[in-house]
Structure 1
Amino acid sequence: MSEEIDTGNPSALSHVSLGTNRYAEAVVFYDAVLATLGCTRLMEHEDACCWGKAYPEFWVQRPIDGRPATVGNGSHVGFVAVDPAQVDAFWVAALAAGAQGEGAPGPRPHYGAPYYGCFVRDLDGHKIEAACWDESLAG
C-alpha cells in the first residue's frame, strides 16, 4: 500500500464532466440548479464551464472530439445536499429550468434509511441527482 497523501480534500473524485449538445442552455440550467446546493460557477472556457463549492468539481462541455454528446445508460451524477430542503429546491429549480423528473424528492430506504433524494434528466438527458443523509429518517 502506498503512503497516503493528505490533500485536505475528503472527496475520492477530482471532478465529473458531462458532454452537452446545448452548451449555452446547459450553462444557464446548471447555474440555476447548482445554486440551490451552494455551488457557483468557478471557471469557463470557450466550450466548457465548471461549478463547485471550493474547486472545479462538475464540468459541462462540448465534446472535445467534435462529435455529438451522448447519454450514458446506467450512469448518473449525484450531488450532495445538506438537508431535504436543498433536495426539494434542487428539484423545483431543475424542473423550472427544463429538466424532466425521474423520481420526486423523498426518502428511499432501500438506499439506506437516512437517504433523501431526487432524480432528474438535464437538457441533454443526463440523469442527475441531489441527495442528503437525514438521520431523522433512520427512525
Structure 2
Amino acid sequence: MTDAAGTRPPLVSHVSVGVSDLEKAGAFYDAALGALGIGRVMDHVMGMAYGRAFPEFWASIPHDRQPCSAGNGVHVCFAASDRDAVDRFHAQGLAAGGRDDGAPGFRPDYAPGYYAAFLRDPDGNKLEAMTWVRPASIDA
C-alpha cells in the first residue's frame, strides 16, 4: 500500500511512554533526544511530543491518569546519525536525570557494526539510541 505521493507509510505512527512528572520528563527528553537532533514539536496539557518534523514520540501522563509504570522488556530505540550522537544521547540523558542501562559501545551480539547506548528515563522507561558503523571504522 502506498500513500498519495507513492511512498509507503511508516510502520509506526508514534510511540508513547508514561511519565509522572512533566517538568522532569521534559528536561530529560529535551536533553537526551536533543543530542540526536530530535526536538520537542508539540506541548499538550498531558505531555509533550518529539520528532524531526511531526510528533513521533510522546512522553505523557497516562491517559487513564493512573500511576505510570515502565514495561519490562519494552523499550524505544531512536536512530542516531553516528557514534558521537549516541555518546551525547547517553551523556546528556544522564546529566538530565536519566539512569545508565548500558554505556555506549558496540553490541556484537546484536549485529556487526551495531553501536548503541541505553538509558532509563526518570520514570524507568528504557530508551536506546543506535547507529550502524561500517566495519572498516569499528576500530577507529
Q: Under a length normalisation based on structure 1, what TM-score does the superposition of the two structures give?
A: 0.91
Who is 1:4 aligned against?
2
What is the CA–CA distance in structure 2 between the aligned matches of 1:68 and 1:80, rounded to whole Å? 29
Question: Identity across aligned pairs (percent)?
Answer: 44
Change (3 A) 1:8 1:43: farther
What is the CA–CA distance in structure 2 between the aligned matches of 1:16 and 1:132, rounded to whole Å? 19
Shift of 1:46: 0.6
Shift of 1:4: 3.3
Count matched residues. 136
Who is 1:114 aligned against?
113
Who is 2:44 aligned against?
45
Root mean square deviation of aligned Cα: 1.7
Shift of 1:24: 1.4
Q: Note if contact 1:115-1:137 (Cα within 8 Å) is conserved in structure 2.
A: no
Change (3 A) 1:47 1:7: farther
What is the CA–CA distance in structure 1 between the aligned matches of 2:61 and 2:6, rounded to whole Å? 30
Who is 1:61 aligned against?
60
Who is 1:137 aligned against?
138
Instruction: State the SS of the aligned residue for 2:55.
Output: coil
Q: Note if contact 2:2-2:8 (Cα within 8 Å) is conserved in structure 1.
A: no
What is the CA–CA distance in structure 1 between the aligned matches of 2:10 and 2:70, rounded to whole Å? 24
Instruction: State the SS of the aligned residue for 1:30.
Output: helix
Change (3 A) 1:9 1:94: farther
Q: Note if contact 2:71-2:125 (Cα within 8 Å) is conserved in structure 1.
A: yes
Give a deviation string over 1:45-71, Cα, whole Å, max 9, x none: 111210101111110110111111111
Matched AA of 2:17: L
Q: Structure 1 segments of 4 or more deviating over 6 A?
A: none
Gaps (5+ residues) in structure 1? Answer: none
Gaps (5+ residues) in structure 2? Answer: none
Shift of 1:114: 1.2
Matched AA of 2:26: V
Q: Under a length normalisation based on structure 2, what TM-score does the superposition of the two structures give?
A: 0.90
